Amino acid sequence: MTESTSLPENKTRFPLPSKGFFILAVILIFIPLIGALFYGVVGEDKYILLAPLALTGYGLLTLGLLWLALSRKTLATAPPGFFLLLLFVLYGCFLIPRSAIPYESTIRMLFIGLFVAAYYYWGNALTLFRRNRWLLGFVLLFVAGLAIYGLINHFKNPEQVLWAKRYAPYPGRLASTYICPNHFAHIMQMLLPFCLVLLFIPRANILIRILAGCCIILFAPTLYFTESRAGMLGSLLALGVTICLMALRKNKKVFILLIIVVPLAGAAVLGLAWKHSEMFHRRMTPVVKFLTEAKEKGFAETSTKDFRPLTWLDSYDMAKEKPITGYGPATYRYLFPKHRNRFKGNKVVTGHPHNEYLEVAVEYGFLGLGLLALAWLYGLIRLFIFSLRTPHQHHAFMAIAFLGTAAGTMLHSFFDFQMHVFQNALLFAFLGAIAAGPMVGRKQEKLSIQTNRTGNLFRRILRIALALALLATCIYSVPIFSSAFLRSKAQRLLKTDPEQAEKTYLKATHVDPHNWRAYKGLGEIYLNKRHFSLNPMEKQAFGYVERNHFQKAYKNNPFDAPLVYDYGMALLFLEEKEKGLDLLKQAAELRPYNDEFWWRRGIAQRKAGNYEAALKSFNHAYKLHHTTVTRANIQWLKRMMKEPKK
């Protein structure tokens, strides 16, 4: 069960990663931490934060991989599962030209490519536990600070996040510097298994062990106040898996006992929480009701009105319509409304199904889901085997901690989309690399004593190819992320300096002509200019410019309902009635349960003299939301349709 070729960590035969190489890895960890710190204050549009972070990440990783490729002293090898993850990235890139919205798919794949490249670099840089422990301790200290801030803020000023007001408050729930409490809960859930194993690693240093123990004590109430069901259940599973695997490493008899005791203990904790915690009982009641009915009647026949299970059923139906390759990365938000049949919440925009597996199946097809699952499971199996075979307990426990983290995340992913959050996914890659780093180091050790020149040459060529591919990706990403940043900046300038906002939008379109969001912003500027202008000739001129910008935006994304509606209204103003009304119909169909879109369509049809069609639109709007103004329009149309034509 041991590796006879392995030496103690301080007597390795392979060339150690240089301090500069390690420092670059340390700098890289600041990217997800900065993302976590400022995620809640930048508003709903995150690109003003994420675009510069992604560009910085690509720049650092390109520098690091070029260093790896050109250095003869530093060896490099792939961490477990890397090439399968790389294959998934290539598969996602293959889907971009076939995607319903190529622009959104391109950005999504650039983010995923960054996560995979970071996993590779960190895996090669973080091979020494004596360095990793301090870096992991720093991350724990940072997240502990976020937890303390979250606890204080939760009781003193929960509507505030740092210096800004929360744009989407979750009443009564702790979210720290995040907006969604579930995503902050996932950060703590990922770190809890590492806190646990550090307590049992003497080489971790007494200060880090004390910090780990304090984090366990701190994260428990913080998780509770987030009221995140997935976060709490995921944490229980993560810690349970970690405890069982630590026992397997030490004593098989204890392991057999624990695989019985740990689930029973977890069930007891949940039972006590259900009985004595009002919060837990309130949050879990819809889940218990749904599962009870599903067991009796089947999933499709439940009477639940809960968003998640109804959305899962519709998402599964959507995935079955394009089962092989899906609709394209990052297209779910825009394409799902046409497939939404069960959940009928008025004006609810379903950006994610709150189930990572279904979202991957919809966007990448079941082929993509299978490929990602293969990469994930292969990497975890390799780590599991390593945790049993390595003679170094501290290396084994780091691998076990990540296996616990992965198990908790897999459960959490059934109920949320936390791995679509930039800093959460990047931090997950970091923790995976810390676990796999010693395993990579052992492979580097074996390579250093090999005399196979052909094999060494092949590996060197492969490293150079990876570095050049990342360099090309980095160069390709510069205009895309720069344009996204400029567009986000322009949106913030609208209220204070509309003229400068227009110039910034134009810069964004020049940098990346496919940025439909920038064209949409320009169209909205000229829509306002047309609306407030009192000069008929000027209104007409503004209308043509508005139409042209919306047309370019629509060409790159014909599935954004507000954009489609505004484009249609611009055409109606310019007397292009037939096409304009068709676009209003498309916009309403993209928001089947939003009465406002149907009401606006009815108004446009009424003004165009299409009374019968307008009546249908108003009737649909009234079914969704009973309003006085909608009822008045219905009554007026009925009177007009009864009167004989003159």
Residue 457: pLDDT over 80:
no
- Residues near 204 by beta carbon (within 8 Å), at least 6 away in sequence: 133, 198, 212, 394
What percent of the chain clears pLDDT 70, i.e. is strictly above it? 92
Distances (CA, A) of 386 to 19, 237, 382, 438: 26, 21, 6, 9
The rounded distance, in Å, linking the Cα atoms of 80 and 123 is 9
The rounded distance, in Å, linking the Cα atoms of 606 and 591 is 20
DSSP assignment, residue 150? H
Write out pLDDT tens, residues 399-425.
999 999 999 999 999 888 889 999 999
Whether the CB-CB separation of 401 and 435 falls below 8 Å is answered with yes
Confidence at residue 452, expressed as pLDDT on a 0 to 100 scale:
59
Of 614, 532, 604, residue with least CA distance to 575 = 604
The rounded distance, in Å, linking the Cα atoms of 365 and 393 is 40
Query: Radius of gyration (Cα) for the chain, nearest Å?
Result: 28
Instruction: Bin 585: left if φ > 0, else alpha if -120 < ψ < 50, else beta.
Output: alpha
Residue 215: pLDDT over 90:
yes
Whether the CB-CB separation of 123 and 436 falls below 8 Å is answered with yes
CB neighbours (10 Å) of residue 26?
A: 15
* DSSP letters spanning 453-507: HHHHHHHHHHHHHHHHHHHHHHHHHHHHHHHHHHHHHHHHHTTT-HHHHHHHHHH
Which residue in the block uniquely carries the two structure tokens 């949106």?
A: 491
The rounded distance, in Å, linking the Cα atoms of 508 and 590 is 27
Whether the CB-CB separation of 151 and 225 falls below 8 Å is answered with yes
Write out pLDDT tens, residues 167-213.
877 888 898 899 989 999 999 999 999 999 999 998 888 999 999 99
Q: Where are the domains of the chain?
A: 9-474, 495-642
Of 220, 34, 216, residue with least CA distance to 142 = 34
The rounded distance, in Å, linking the Cα atoms of 61 and 123 is 12
Say what angle helices 47-70 and 422-448 make with each other, to 10 degrees.
Answer: 10
Of 155, 252, 241, residue with least CA distance to 190 = 241
Write out pLDDT tens, residues 246-263.
998 888 888 888 888 888
Whether the CB-CB separation of 362 and 343 falls below 8 Å is answered with no
Whether the CB-CB separation of 413 and 419 falls below 8 Å is answered with yes
Whether the CB-CB separation of 440 and 123 falls below 8 Å is answered with yes
The rounded distance, in Å, linking the Cα atoms of 588 and 581 is 11
Write out pLDDT tens, residues 541-575.
999 999 999 999 999 999 998 999 999 888 888 88
Residue 4: pLDDT over 60:
no
Confidence at residue 379, expressed as pLDDT on a 0 to 100 scale:
93
CA 5 from chain centre, in angstroms, equals 41
Write out pLDDT tens, residues 122-139.
988 888 888 889 999 999
Name the pLDDT band for 517 (thresholds 50, 70, 90): very high
Of 617, 445, 386, 374, residue with least CA distance to 15 = 445
The rounded distance, in Å, linking the Cα atoms of 258 and 107 is 45
Which residue in the block uniquely carries the two structure tokens 């920038």?
A: 518
Residue 17: pLDDT over 70:
no
Write out pLDDT tens, residues 350-398.
888 889 999 999 999 999 999 999 999 999 999 999 998 888 888 999 9
Write out pLDDT tens, residues 595-633.
888 888 888 888 878 888 888 888 888 888 888 888 888
Helix, strand, coil % in the chain, rounded to nearest 5? 75, 0, 20
- Average pLDDT of the segment spanning 428-438: 93
The rounded distance, in Å, linking the Cα atoms of 456 and 100 is 43
Amino acid code (one letter) for 399: A
Q: Considering only residues 305 and 490, tell me which one the structure prediction assigns the higher pLDDT.
A: 490
Q: Which two tokens stand for residue 194?
A: 């590492």
Q: Which two tokens stand for residue 449?
A: 């004593």
What three-state secondary structure class fits 164? Answer: strand
- Residues near 185 by beta carbon (within 8 Å), at least 6 away in sequence: 223, 226, 228, 230, 231, 232, 234, 235
Write out pLDDT tens, residues 289-313.
777 776 666 666 666 677 778 888 8
Burial of 20: CB neighbours in 10 Å, binned 0-12, 13-18, 19+: exposed
What percent of the chain clears pLDDT 90, i.e. is strictly above it? 46
- Residues near 413 by beta carbon (within 8 Å), at least 6 away in sequence: 355, 356, 357, 419
- For the entire predicted model, the pTM comes to 0.90
The rounded distance, in Å, linking the Cα atoms of 378 and 225 is 35
- Average pLDDT of the segment spanning 138-153: 94
Whether the CB-CB separation of 387 and 400 falls below 8 Å is answered with yes
Yes or no: domain 495-642 corresponds to CATH 1.25.40.10? yes
Distances (CA, A) of 94 to 88, 90, 106, 329, 365: 10, 6, 10, 10, 13
Average model confidence (pLDDT) across the chain = 86
- Average pLDDT of the segment spanning 454-478: 84
Q: Which two tokens stand for residue 173?
A: 């729930």
Confidence at residue 455, expressed as pLDDT on a 0 to 100 scale:
61
The rounded distance, in Å, linking the Cα atoms of 376 and 113 is 15
